[in-house]
Amino acid sequence: MESMAKTRTDCNSNELEPTLNDLKAYVERAARQGVAVHEVEAGIWHRVLHLGHQALRLLFSLIGPGDMGETVVLPDGQEVRRLERSHPRVYQSVFGRFEVERVVYGAREGQKIAYVPFDTQLELPESNFSYLLQDWAQSFAVENTYRRVPEALGRLLDVHPSVDSLERMNQKMAETVRPFRESRPAPEPEQEGALCVVSADGKGIPIRRATPEAPIQGHDPEQEAKTNRKKMAVVGTVYTIDPCVRMPEEVVASLFRSPDDNPLPSARPVPKHKRLWASLPQEQDGEEVSATEATLNWLAQEVARRHPEAGKPIVLLMDGQKSLWEAGQRVLSQVSTIEILDLWHATPRIWDAAHLFYGRDEEQTLHFVYDRGALSRRRASADGYQAHAAGQKTGKARQTLRVSRKQCPSHALRCVSRRGLSYRFRSHRGGMSPFRQRPDGALGHALED
């Protein structure tokens, strides 16, 4: 099919000059009058938006309505004819709203339109919103509620999409996520790192429920709406990285580094070709598929696709969520994995215990956290390597770190029990493999004893 790029030559491409001259004159006038810079910024931005609107309008004029003659032969050989009346459409850009008239082709009026040269030439989206506006709007929506997005876009661009439009925009964009993920080629082997890391974590997502019939019902503690206000999403990632050899003391010391400390002697390796997947519980063929299963299955597929010969060490790195470990071991059962618990997920519980034991004594709490983190990491590392060399399990080995009951008040121990600071160790203490020994195991024994 013939391109439309040369269909209009009678447009005045100099129509942008008055706006450009106005912008220049505004800046010169502001300089003479000593206008505050923040006011000048706002004035420049307003004129830039107006200039962008005029530039897009000029583009549409140069392209024209898309009249390519009485008939057009499509790539599949079908011949379609030009319909009698033009079909307008709305195009909402970051520079404002446009209503454009287009010539369309099809069999006859009232039937499906087969070809719109104007849309095809400019690769317009199906919806009224430009791809750039959709991108910016959803970037805001990721961090804010939908109701906040029109406020932000309105202040910046004087564009106010409705909440309904933003929700439908999000749903439409989500349809292309899986095909896009599956279409990406695997990285070249020589571009990958020496270790393949697989990780997953849960994140509670607030779910909006129907508003109670009367506002006072929302304050009823027995209301069922009080429960299940969140759904658990599971986020997974696969990446490769080169080893960074460190002693346990160096790992703990890195958690206590100050921005004023001397820089590290060498840069740490960075992840390569990091790919992410997130999923909420969903219904498939009338049955609910858990977010854990959906995400972990994708992780296993990604590992098999990038490393089909399993020639690279696979590191399974997660927090203490039991269901994640069970799913990870199940989907990666065909490959050998090194299982590591993320230390960051244990440190909040050490801080909780430190504050219960020492209150607001900042120096004592900091020493408590440092000592427990260093000892538990060192013990886990030593026990793990010794058991690995001997081929033995160390899950039932007692940690030597203890805090006697005489060292802390009884109310602190009760609070510790209520907060469940040692439940993870009690839940997993039997039969743990050396590489899965939880770094908060030492704390678990300290609280139990």
Which is higher by pLDDT, 1 or 349?
349
Res 390: pLDDT: 39
- The total number of structural domains in the chain stands at 4
Instruction: For residue 136, count other CB atoms closer than 10 A to its CB.
Output: 18
Q: Are residues 332 and 197 in the same domain?
A: yes
Res 265: pLDDT: 64
Note the pTM of the prediction, 2 decimals.
0.66
Residue 24 lies in a domain: yes
Question: Domain limits at 320?
Answer: 188-208+227-259+268-342
Residue 40 lies in a domain: yes
Confidence band for 378, pLDDT divided at 50, 70 and 90 = low
Residue 281 lies in a domain: yes
**pLDDT average, residue stretch 73-88:** 91
Res 264: pLDDT: 66
**pLDDT of 140 strictly over 80:** yes
Return the SS3 of 110: coil
Q: Are residues 151 and 251 in the same domain?
A: no
User: Rounded CA gap, 421 and 350, in Å?
Assistant: 8
Q: Are residues 204 and 321 in the same domain?
A: yes
Q: Are residues 288 and 392 in the same domain?
A: no
3-7, 92-96, 265-269, 391-395 — which is least confidently predicted? 391-395
Res 239: pLDDT: 95
Q: Are residues 366 and 434 in the same domain?
A: yes
Residue 216 lies in a domain: no
Q: Are residues 160 and 59 in the same domain?
A: no
Q: Domain boundary residue among 342, 362, 396?
A: 342
Res 209: pLDDT: 63
Residue 141 lies in a domain: yes
Q: Are residues 195 and 324 in the same domain?
A: yes
Which is higher by pLDDT, 260 or 422?
260
Q: Are residues 306 and 160 in the same domain?
A: no
Q: Domain boundary residue among 320, 342, 364?
A: 342
Residue 180 lies in a domain: no
DSSP tag of 301: H
Residue 182 lies in a domain: no
Q: Are residues 171 and 237 in the same domain?
A: no
What confidence tens digit (pLDDT) does each residue in 23-48 have? 999 999 999 999 999 999 999 999 99
Burial 158-175 (b: 16+ CB within 10 A, else e): ebebeeebbeebeeebee
CB contact set of 205 (below 8 Å; sequence gap of 6+): 230, 231, 232, 233, 280
What confidence tens digit (pLDDT) does each residue in 167-220 have? 999 999 888 888 888 888 999 989 999 999 999 999 888 776 666 556 666 666
What confidence tens digit (pLDDT) does each residue in 87-136 have? 999 999 999 999 999 999 998 888 889 999 999 999 999 999 999 999 99
CA distances from 379 to 337, 369, 391 (A): 21, 15, 17
* Mean residue pLDDT across the chain: 79
Q: Are residues 195 and 310 in the same domain?
A: yes
The radius of gyration of the chain's CA atoms, rounded to the nearest angstrom, is 31
Q: Are residues 71 and 144 in the same domain?
A: no
**pLDDT of 322 strictly over 80:** yes
Confidence band for 368, pLDDT divided at 50, 70 and 90 = confident
Q: Are residues 195 and 328 in the same domain?
A: yes
Q: Domain boundary residue among 94, 118, 142?
A: 118
User: Rounded CA gap, 418 and 427, in Å?
Assistant: 16
User: Rounded CA gap, 440 and 344, in Å?
Assistant: 10
26-30, 344-348, 410-414 — which is least confidently predicted? 410-414
Res 384: pLDDT: 42
Residue 218 lies in a domain: no
